[in-house]
Structure 1
């Protein structure tokens, strides 16, 4: 059944009722020419039907999609709420090159919050992250970040009409989306437009240097033979552009200290300061922060064919930071303390690239006076690839968006859902409840069940069976990392390396 028209600053929209939830899909918040900043779409006066997902951003395997109209968002809001509800603003992951808001149906979370759930599309790959402002295209810097800011602005201006509280917005994201959240949270343009932040599986290196981004840009232009005429990239067919990026990505992984091709860039313009330094200085001490990761993050990347570039670069960079002898001592320690089902090499890489950088950010925020909670997802969902790979990258996300007792289909990712086991339901329900409490109140649980992260005590919440709390900084692995990382400069070197 269609909803009544809801006014927005751009024009009225009509959604569809799904049980106790109203869904508005494919709501345009901006349009954008290639390598230009997003601008508002043309205002409409007749009610616009928003019952189907809009086109997502062009990406490998989907390069026939329209570029200008990919900037849309989706809203799920409970029927009959008698007050403005908290809002979850979610930025999808996908290594900055794939994904879309259509992979995340928020109706279950909206109904059980109750809360208003928003997922967004932003430009991906070269269209969102290729830094060309030094090469004659002055607007082409951090375009995906600007897209996300435009979506956040739209939500702040319009979400009250959908039953959401614009003063109670939680910035959230997973993987690449978590990196976007950490960067967005520190920007002056976002100040006052969100109340708290949730980052799941943010990569260790959340920000790319301007120099590295320029290396990528120069190599892409060279691969396209456009060094003398960079602006011609605006009309290069998408398959040719993405093929050039893929070639450049392979060479970058082999020849530089970073296997990363795309991501938020410390350009001094859109992103003026290193996000982690902004947290450390206390500029966000009033923003509650939840940081989460999965126990076996790296398994998925080790099992990819060929193994992901981050595997080689993470090992290489830890060796640079701690010496070859330090690396060998770490690996021997992990082998000697491994669980029966644990790959010591994978566990070391997961700690280096995922878990330790998240813990460092938690320490920075706590030291600056901020409230922060740290979690790890240890449950193996009965859904591929997790059934065969364990609680690897994305396991928490699969449970977060589940419609209990079913995992949902992920059409863009081309993953089918399926029935959940009793253990899946138990852990997913606990995870969703914590998220909805955080979105509503700014803390994921009562202090007795899940204390906030403090430097005197560093509690780590484990989502498994049962849910429990362990001290983060205990065990032979932590002690060896502390020994090898002795001194603030060494710690800084390790953070920068991974």
Structure 2
């Protein structure tokens, strides 16, 4: 007997219709896409904390992909998206009422500036659905629309609306996933890049307590302070001015202007507000992102520095995996720099100094000494040039990713909870690594930032892998680790040692295309120098 193509499920807000599909590997599943989990943030809601959607009585069609919130799509090189982008996707093998499936929830990356959960592009669940899991993904507000922050408490725009969207999505999952065959008491949260940083924010923010039970933070934590934790600056006024605002600069008038501005103009302006000093000397990657909120509300998500929040994390008793790739800094090849300012400015060693993270003034004598130390660490006696970018990429990889990842791991260990902490080092390089080719970095060693994603999700650029191919073998390996962790609460890799000690080096599982083994984190020698720099200026390491 053939099954009906369409399936209806009840949610707290109303019935939704999904459809039956088959993965590229031949597995049948039920697809639900674009279910509203929040009210459209339009007008007065544009920059504020999310509100639950109105209930509906007519069956909602959840068989079609939903566009993202407004973003600049770097691949398409144009602004795309809609303001009613607060949608969630659920992929399940069957609608069980007993023996529920563990739930795996993915948070997409994009530097808190761009990105979406679109299955039709990068996040097709086909590989993960080989396992006994329910897979969930969702959109959240990004850029200025997701992270505008104003000082005036009367306006109720303290920032981090995008993270609050994520929390509302997690709450929706907790309350509704049982109707889709998922176990609300077995939810694993994972994400890559800004998604990994988001995972870490949920691990340390009390607002997310109890909404998930395990976590995997991939290539990002809240302690990657040049893009995952932003200094408070006048970005809102800068955006408004570029959109044509001519007011007095007060928070109230800026907000009123931006609430009525065309969202495409806001996105376009957001791409152009960083100064050369911020981009090339301070190494700020994007203008808008998570901030410490300037006042307390009933929806405050980040109330103080993440490094201090991490010391009191509610999640110290749950198991977590952290990790990254072998050449995270290759991400910088994706950030436009047509005039090659990024490398030429590094001829002045002072510009190696992590000013934002260390809260140092550029004229501080310490800044020059720190910059000299870091320049020698990566370049020795040579001069940075655009014909030899590898040292620069390693510098950016440590600055933007690995130092923050190591600090997050050590911070977690220091809390002394019962939760296990595992670390991986992703070094799998095959034809699946399409982004490295797109970045024109195939001649450089190492796996690019985000290089793991293609072994977890199918995407529009990849064809179904042959069962006997090296690509498929590594997909099975990576999906196996993630699914074992989500289903059974362990990695399924007996030799994978957890990190328990504050003594370096960290021990990590080295994943290569030919196997896996435990090693000392290769970045350790460099990261110890970073630690020494931080200690010398009195900065908190963890």
**Alpha-carbon distance between aligned partners in 1 of 2:70 and 2:101, rounded to the nearest angstrom:** 33
**Alpha-carbon distance between aligned partners in 1 of 2:389 and 2:281, rounded to the nearest angstrom:** 31
Secondary structure of the residue aligned to 1:243 is helix
Q: Equivalent residue for 2:302?
A: 271
TM-score by length of 1: 0.85
Q: Equivalent residue for 1:485?
A: 531
Q: CA contact under 8 A between 1:183 and 1:264: conserved in structure 2?
A: no
Aligned residues: 474
Q: Equivalent of 1:418, from 463, 472, 476? A: 463
1:359 aligns with 2:415: no
1:472 aligns with 2:520: yes
Cα deviation, 1:23-68, whole Å, max 9, x if unaligned, reads: 101111111221232222221112222100123111125646431x
1:385 aligns with 2:435: yes
Q: Equivalent of 1:2, from 5, 15, 27? A: 5
Q: Equivalent of 1:316, from 338, 341, 353? A: 353
Q: Equivalent residue for 2:92?
A: 77
Q: Equivalent residue for 1:130?
A: 148
Q: CA contact under 8 A between 1:23 and 1:107: conserved in structure 2?
A: no
For residue 481 of structure 1, report the CA deviation from its aligned partner: 4.4
Q: Equivalent of 1:461, from 509, 520, 523? A: 509
Structure 1 range deviating more: 392-401 or 109-118: 109-118
Q: How does 1:113-192 map to 2 (within 5 A)?
A: 113-132=131-150, 134=152, 137-139=155-157, 141-192=159-210
**Alpha-carbon distance between aligned partners in 2 of 1:239 and 1:63, rounded to the nearest angstrom:** 7
For residue 176 of structure 1, report the CA deviation from its aligned partner: 1.2
Q: How does 1:5-84 map to 2 (within 5 A)?
A: 5-19=8-22, 20-31=28-39, 32-33=41-42, 34-60=46-72, 63=79, 65-67=81-83, 69-79=84-94, 81=96, 83-84=99-100
**Alpha-carbon distance between aligned partners in 1 of 2:266 and 2:111, rounded to the nearest angstrom:** 18
For residue 372 of structure 1, report the CA deviation from its aligned partner: 1.0
1:449 aligns with 2:470: no
Q: How does 1:230-309 map to 2 (within 5 A)?
A: 230=254, 231-251=256-276, 252-253=278-279, 258-267=284-293, 269-281=300-312, 283-302=314-333, 304-306=335-337
**Alpha-carbon distance between aligned partners in 2 of 1:179 and 1:417, rounded to the nearest angstrom:** 26
For residue 214 of structure 1, report the CA deviation from its aligned partner: 3.6
Q: How does 1:327-338 map to 2 (within 5 A)?
A: 327-332=374-379
**Alpha-carbon distance between aligned partners in 1 of 2:148 and 2:420, rounded to the nearest angstrom:** 35
Q: CA contact under 8 A between 2:104 and 2:135: conserved in structure 1?
A: yes
Task: Assess, with a 3 A threshold, how the Cα gap between structure 1 residues 47 and 330 changes in structure 2: closer, same or farther.
Answer: same
**Alpha-carbon distance between aligned partners in 2 of 1:435 and 1:321, rounded to the nearest angstrom:** 43
For residue 350 of structure 1, report the CA deviation from its aligned partner: 1.4
Q: CA contact under 8 A between 1:87 and 1:117: conserved in structure 2?
A: yes
Q: Equivalent residue for 2:425?
A: 376
Task: Assess, with a 3 A threshold, how the Cα gap between structure 1 residues 79 and 239 changes in structure 2: closer, same or farther.
Answer: closer
**Alpha-carbon distance between aligned partners in 2 of 1:365 and 1:344, rounded to the nearest angstrom:** 30
Q: Equivalent residue for 1:399?
A: 455
For residue 462 of structure 1, report the CA deviation from its aligned partner: 1.5
For residue 309 of structure 1, report the CA deviation from its aligned partner: 9.1
**Alpha-carbon distance between aligned partners in 2 of 1:249 and 1:168, rounded to the nearest angstrom:** 42
Q: CA contact under 8 A between 1:77 and 1:115: conserved in structure 2?
A: yes
5+ residue gaps, structure 2, are: 23-27, 356-365, 383-387
Q: CA contact under 8 A between 1:280 and 1:368: conserved in structure 2?
A: yes
Q: Equivalent residue for 2:229?
A: 208
**Alpha-carbon distance between aligned partners in 1 of 2:415 and 2:312, rounded to the nearest angstrom:** 6
Task: Assess, with a 3 A threshold, how the Cα gap between structure 1 residues 342 and 431 changes in structure 2: closer, same or farther.
Answer: farther
Task: Assess, with a 3 A threshold, how the Cα gap between structure 1 residues 295 and 322 changes in structure 2: closer, same or farther.
Answer: farther
Secondary structure of the residue aligned to 2:191 is strand
Task: Assess, with a 3 A threshold, how the Cα gap between structure 1 residues 5 and 328 changes in structure 2: closer, same or farther.
Answer: closer
Task: Assess, with a 3 A threshold, how the Cα gap between structure 1 residues 262 and 131 changes in structure 2: closer, same or farther.
Answer: same
For residue 16 of structure 1, report the CA deviation from its aligned partner: 0.6
**Alpha-carbon distance between aligned partners in 1 of 2:377 and 2:122, rounded to the nearest angstrom:** 38
Secondary structure of the residue aligned to 2:410 is helix
Q: CA contact under 8 A between 1:59 and 1:124: conserved in structure 2?
A: yes
For residue 127 of structure 1, report the CA deviation from its aligned partner: 0.8
Secondary structure of the residue aligned to 1:249 is coil
**Alpha-carbon distance between aligned partners in 1 of 2:161 and 2:303, rounded to the nearest angstrom:** 14
**Alpha-carbon distance between aligned partners in 2 of 1:188 and 1:282, rounded to the nearest angstrom:** 8
**Alpha-carbon distance between aligned partners in 1 of 2:279 and 2:246, rounded to the nearest angstrom:** 21
Over the aligned positions, Cα root-mean-square deviation in angstroms equals 3.1
Q: Equivalent residue for 1:412?
A: none
Structure 1 range deviating more: 251-260 or 284-293: 251-260
Moved over 4 A (4+): 61-64, 254-257, 307-314, 332-335
Q: Equivalent residue for 1:413?
A: none
**Alpha-carbon distance between aligned partners in 1 of 2:465 and 2:154, rounded to the nearest angstrom:** 52
Secondary structure of the residue aligned to 1:493 is coil
For residue 195 of structure 1, report the CA deviation from its aligned partner: 0.3
Higher helix proportion (structure 1 or 2): 1
